Amino acid sequence: MTKTYFTEDHEWIRVEGDIATVGITDYAQEQLGDLVFVDLPEAGRKLAKGDVAVVVESVKAASDVYAPIDGDITEANATLSSDPALVNSAASGDGWLWKMKIANAGQLDGLMDEAGYKAHIG
C-alpha cells in the first residue's frame, strides 16, 4: 500500500514498504518559479530528519530541500541533472528528487496527510 505524507517545509514523501520517494510539492515549485539546477544527493548517504538533502535553484533563488525522516538514500532522480524543469511540470510525479530506505517509520506519524497539507498552505 502506498501512502503520501507532507511536511511543513513543502516536501512530499510517498511510502511503499520500507522505501520512500521524496519530492517538493506543486505549491513549492510554484513559489520557486522555473528550476534551472538541482543538486542531487549521492546514493548511500545517510540522512537524519531535517538534514538538507537537495538544493534546488530557480531563476529566483536557491532553496534547500530537507529530509522529512531518517533514512539512507538509495537513488537520486538522475533525469533532473539534464532536465531540472521536470520538477516544475511534474512535481508530484516524474519530478521526484530522491528515494530512501526508511530508518525510522515512527517519524511518519509527525507528518501531514493531504488534507492537513492543504489546510497548512490555506
pLDDT in tens, the chain (122 residues): 899 999 999 999 999 999 999 999 999 999 999 999 999 999 999 999 999 999 999 998 999 999 999 999 999 999 999 999 999 999 999 999 999 999 999 999 999 999 999 999 99
Angstrom distances, CA of residue 100 to CA of 8, 52, 74, 92 = 19, 14, 5, 16
Is the alpha carbon torsion for 3, 43, 29, 105 positive or negative?
Answer: positive
Q: Which helix (H) or strand (E) holds 118?
A: helix 114-121
Q: Of 31, 84, 88, whose CA–CA distance to 61 is shortest? A: 31
Domains of the chain: 2-110 (2.40.50.100)
C-alpha cell at 57: 535553484
Residues 5 and 33: their CA atoms lie apart, in Å, by: 23
